Amino acid sequence: MESLTHNPRYVCSDPMPQHVPLTQGRFDRQADSFASSASPKRSAVRIVVAMSGGVDSSAAAALLQEQGYDLVGVTLHLWDAEPGRQPGRCCAPEDQEDARRACEALGIPHYVLNETAAFRAEVVDPFLESYTRGSTPVPCVSCNQHVKLGRLIEVADAFGATYVATGHYARLQTNETGGLEVLRGIDRDKDQSYFLFGVPASTLERFMFPLGEMTKPVARMHAERLGVPNWSKPDSQSLCFVPDNDIAGFVSRQSGPQPHGHIMDESGAVLSRHSGIHQFTIGQRRRLGITGKEPRYVLKIVPEDHVVVVGSRAALARRTFSASRASWLIEKPRNPFRALVRIRYRHEPSPAEVTPTQGGFSVEFECEQTAITRGQAAVIYKNETLVAGGYID
């Protein structure tokens, strides 16, 4: 990797930190207890903290500093706003400024690394392609797997850091055989283990998630207590590169006009026309451009015919699906097994039987689930532990 001190992609007003001897061996990954005095052992361990400008990453940095670790703050600049449009979190100049102010308040150096090319190639372009093919992608999974976490390991190596810390609400622990396990975050509303199934274990070995054992309100409390200037910053509810939540408009602007087609009911009767299947996702009710006594929902998208099929809410219910491009965090089972399966980020994991297949797995839920959507990630848990994930076919 090229020297960071001569890398024009980095912006830093602080001097490059001197190398600190590293302490070998494991230590607690979670910030479940915070000593007020720095440990001499911990002061010899350098950690790169991924700083997004939000309260979570800032709280993680503050808690680790309180524990006495030697920290370097790094912000990955991922996306430049479209002309005339406001950029989202992780991308806006004010978010980078919030990250800088948090580092300044903590007295740690702050660097900005331009990763827009990788983000475009690995996240945005596949996102656009998925929508134009009638799928609903999960860009945060791709970002964690292909852009953020692996790149942060390279940065940590360049800084002589042992670990990378982020504000993810997830937990890491060593099991009885010495292997690393990913567990759901304690805060079920913020749990982000869903986005980590595709990250190799060798990468996760280098990570710390200090917020995994706490809720978001507790993280804010610690951030305020430790003097983080953005402790009260509100959460963002949008994709960082689509801050206005107008995904259809973003796809149209980035990919150009899409083929028009028909909206049909389940019998094949044409109800209306549309200007592109990228405007629809399974379970969608609003902005269908059709009228009727009963509400209709998107049941299926047929990309080769540019057809959107709509019907009743009851018709959205299914018990089975298959997934491909699976990643296993355990040795892949040979036989079917019982587990909890999550079919989208805000879905509560539901009991199911999982059958491993060539390159993926099939799922049969105990109870019907609503809006199982092609392109979304399906993630498997054994109790609290993340064991696999793949993409719904």
Residue 87: its pLDDT value, please?
A: 56
Residue 387: its pLDDT value, please?
A: 97
Residue 17: its pLDDT value, please?
A: 38
Percent with pLDDT over 90 in the chain: 77
Residue entry with tokens 């299914």:
318
Strand pairing class (261-264; 307-311): parallel
pLDDT value at 18 more than 50: no
Strand partners, 73: 49, 110
Classify each residue of 75-111 as buried b or exposed e, where b means 16 or more C-beta atoms within 10 Å of its C-beta: bbbbbeeeeeeebbbbbbeebbebbbbbbebbebbbb
Residue 235: its pLDDT value, please?
A: 87
Residues labelled as active-site residues: 143, 240
Residue 244: its pLDDT value, please?
A: 85
pLDDT value at 4 more than 50: no
SS (H, E, C) 136-186: CCCHHHHHHHHHHHHHHHHHHHHCCCCEEECCCCEEEEECCCCCEEEEECC
* Contact yes or no for 191/28 (Cβ under 8 A): no
Residue 205: its pLDDT value, please?
A: 93
Question: Could you give the angle at the alpha carbon of 264 between the alpha carbons of 259 and 267, nearest 5°?
Answer: 145
d(CA 320, CA 360): 14
Strand order in the sheet with 10-11: 10-11, 110-114, 70-77, 46-50, 163-165, 207-208
Is 225 exposed, middle or buried (CB count within 10 Å of its CB: 0-12, 13-18, 19+)? middle
pLDDT value at 259 more than 80: yes
pLDDT value at 14 more than 80: no
Condensed to tens digits (0 to 9), the pLDDT of residues 337-369 reads 999 999 999 999 999 999 999 999 999 999 999
Q: Determine how many CB atoms are found less than 10 A away from the CB of residue 57.
A: 27
User: What average pLDDT does this structure show over 211-227?
Assistant: 97
Q: What is the pTM of this model?
A: 0.86
d(CA 150, CA 198): 11
Confidence band of 84 (pLDDT split at 50, 70, 90): low
Q: Which residues contact 83 (CB under 8 A, 6 or more apart)?
A: none
Q: Quote the tokens at residue 30.
A: 């979670």
Residue entry with tokens 């109790």:
383
Lowest mean pLDDT among 2-11, 33-42, 174-183, 297-306: 2-11
d(CA 54, CA 75): 11
Condensed to tens digits (0 to 9), the pLDDT of residues 97-123 reads 999 999 999 999 999 999 999 999 999
What is the DSSP-derived secondary structure letter of residue 242? B
d(CA 153, CA 157): 6
Q: Which of 53, 36, 32 is nearest to 234 (CA)?
A: 53
